Amino acid sequence: MGGPGNTGGTGAAPRPDGGPSADAARRERVKSPEELRSHAWYGTGGLRSFSHRARTRQLGYLPEEHLGKPVVAVLNTWSDINPCHQHLRERAEAVKRGVWQAGGFPLEFPVATLSETFQKPTPMLYRNLLAMETEELLRSYPVDGAVLMGGCDKTTPALLMGAASAGLPAVFVPAGPMLRGHWRGETLGSGTDMWKYWDDKRAGLIGDRELAELECGLARSPGHCMTMGTASTMTAVAEALGVTVPGASSIPAVDSGHSRMAAAAGRLAVELVWQDLRLPELLTREAFEDGIATAVALGGSTNAIIHLIAMAGRSGVKLTPDDFDAIARRVPVLANLRPGGAYLMEDFHYAGGLPGLLARLAEAGHLHLDRPTAAHATLREQIAGALVHDDDVIRPLDEPLAAEGGIAVLRGNLAPDGAVIKHIAAEPRLLRHTGPAVVFENYRQLQDRIDDPALSITADSVLVLRGSGPLGGPGMPEYGMLPIPAYLLKEGVRDMVRLSDARMSGTSYGACVLHIAPESHAGGPLALVRTGDPVTLDVPARLLRLEVDEAELARRREELRPPPAPYGRGYGALYQRHITQADTGCDFDFLARPGEVPEPYAG
């Protein structure tokens, strides 16, 4: 049978088995051409409408090509410096082909590209900027619906946050994972094996020649990381939310099925416009709970917590870190994927992809099966008939990779608003640990001093990095996998307890406590830690505690002085005035709050 991206010729969205889509009633039009949003620009008798039609003729389009048809914006995050998206220029043509086939009129919009690899200090600083651009483009142009093209870590949540706020019908097209890496007979995972072999280099186990070979073997094609990092986590979550073509999230970027999926997404977007099925109607609390369950079952990135909280907020749904912890306690890890497991995204795709994993979660009662998706009347219908073809890649319910989810939310006097650890990717011996703190004020100091023997860091030390949160980073960079001193690496130490108010890459691993809230720059307790203070991590008890008496902490608190704001002007100044903390999603307060936004007057 056909895979994702095949359709049955009826204009219906594809099922995982390639068969026809939802019931006929769901596919009936509820809008007339005169009710299309774009009609306000093109269809009235005034001067402005005449001008809009004349300028469309200037673009080279005939009246019959666009009048009375759904106008679908294709928001493309392609750029020359984003390797995850370097194929999206071509895929946009496939999307437009699908829109034309379904009787719509596609218009491609270039939007900000957030390259995890190159953008500094972190693309997280600019996630909300892309969300704003998405929302305002969709609102201010003659657009009836949208296809959102992304995949590199921050692009998925940013596009969906903006589109949810705009409130139009929308379909997400995941960029897809790159091919497996290879080096000297080994299969490599981007990110995960980069950290591993970089530590081998620092430990003196490999040299410059091996490192040069690894540079050419880690990332071999267009597409985002093929480990279960943030990119794969968030695109899978988008599929679980029901805003993609079924089966879309795991298709390798260079697979021909990816082109077919892109065309199917264009067709689906036109259908959603005629049905008037808007993105906020799909992004319900039930959908977000299923998104969390999916991230947990995948052993997904800790970054999903921040992004899902922000996405839910834009949809009028309140999520907290505690929702993740509660779901993680009951949902097992079924995907045997790096960094917590053995396989890569190609293997996951061939094993049945997300439809197969969702079918197993549904079997255990972990999903809300009667909610709608973009492609089907219910999630139940969407995953009907989905199969798993390799039980080692997508584990059976009675043989999970871990009995409960690999993410835990910690609290205590060091993290009154919560902190996060991906404990499935840590050495089990460290999940209950007390050790003396070694404190670094910022990441540059950490880089400069981590190998200094004078710090007397041992395997039992607790490395503490502050000044790296939403304000302090700025932008909450992925500094959370703090490096281990080279002299300890040479002794065979490969994991230590590490604390920070930063994030870490979803491809990272180790006993790294992240997202400590409030951050040190906001006066959080992390700012009170001194080198030598005992720190306790107890993951089973969900505890993170500074073992210093309250009177001493109160004295230290009185001595605190707020650090200077890094930005005196520009977007950075806007960011630092309005950014919220990790536990509430790091959105801008003025974007996250409810409120009416008027439709622009087009006449």
Residue 241 — pLDDT band, cuts 50, 70, 90? very high
| Per-residue confidence (pLDDT) for residue 9, from 0 to 100 | 30
Average per-residue pLDDT in the chain? 95
In tens, the pLDDT along 494-513 reads 999 999 999 999 999 999 99
In tens, the pLDDT along 138-158 reads 999 999 999 999 999 999 999
d(CA 237, CA 499): 27
| Surface-to-core class of residue 228, CB atoms within 10 Å of its CB (0-12 exposed, 13-18 middle, 19+ buried) | buried
| Per-residue confidence (pLDDT) for residue 28, from 0 to 100 | 79
Which one-letter amino acid corresponds to residue 49?
S
| Per-residue confidence (pLDDT) for residue 25, from 0 to 100 | 55
- Local structure of residue 320 (DSSP, 8 states): -
Residue 534 vs residues 414, 460, 463: alpha-carbon distances, Å: 12, 11, 11
Question: How much is the average pLDDT of 512-539?
Answer: 98
d(CA 8, CA 23): 14
Strands 512-514 and 497-500: parallel
Q: Which CATH number fits domain 410-559: 2.40.290.10, 3.60.9.10, 3.50.30.80, 1.10.1020.10?
A: 3.50.30.80
| Per-residue confidence (pLDDT) for residue 6, from 0 to 100 | 37
For the CA atoms of 265, 268, 274, 276, the dihedral, rounded to the nearest 10 degrees, stands at: -80
| Per-residue confidence (pLDDT) for residue 346, from 0 to 100 | 97
Q: The dihedral of CA 63, 40, 169, 87: what is its sign? A: positive
Question: CA 78, 246, 290 angle in degrees (round to 5)?
Answer: 100
| Per-residue confidence (pLDDT) for residue 13, from 0 to 100 | 37
| Per-residue confidence (pLDDT) for residue 291, from 0 to 100 | 98
- Name the residue among 510, 506, 477 with its Cα closest to residue 189: 506
Residue 476 — pLDDT band, cuts 50, 70, 90? very high
Cβ–Cβ under 8 Å, residues 155 and 130: yes
Residue 24 — pLDDT band, cuts 50, 70, 90? low
Ranges of each domain in the chain: 29-68, 69-179+221-383, 182-215, 410-559
Per cent of the chain over pLDDT 90 is 94
Confidence (pTM): 0.95
Cβ density class 239-249: b for 16+ within 10 Å, e for less: bbbbbbbbbbb
In tens, the pLDDT along 533-570 reads 999 999 999 999 999 999 999 999 999 999 999 999 99
Strands 71-76 and 105-110: parallel
Distance, CA of 494 to chain centre: 27
Which one-letter amino acid corresponds to residue 324?
F
In tens, the pLDDT along 165-215 reads 999 999 999 999 999 999 999 999 999 999 899 999 999 999 999 999 999
- Local structure of residue 471 (DSSP, 8 states): T
Q: Is 21's pLDDT higher than 80?
A: no
Q: Is 20's pLDDT higher than 80?
A: no
Question: How much is the average pLDDT of 86-112?
Answer: 98
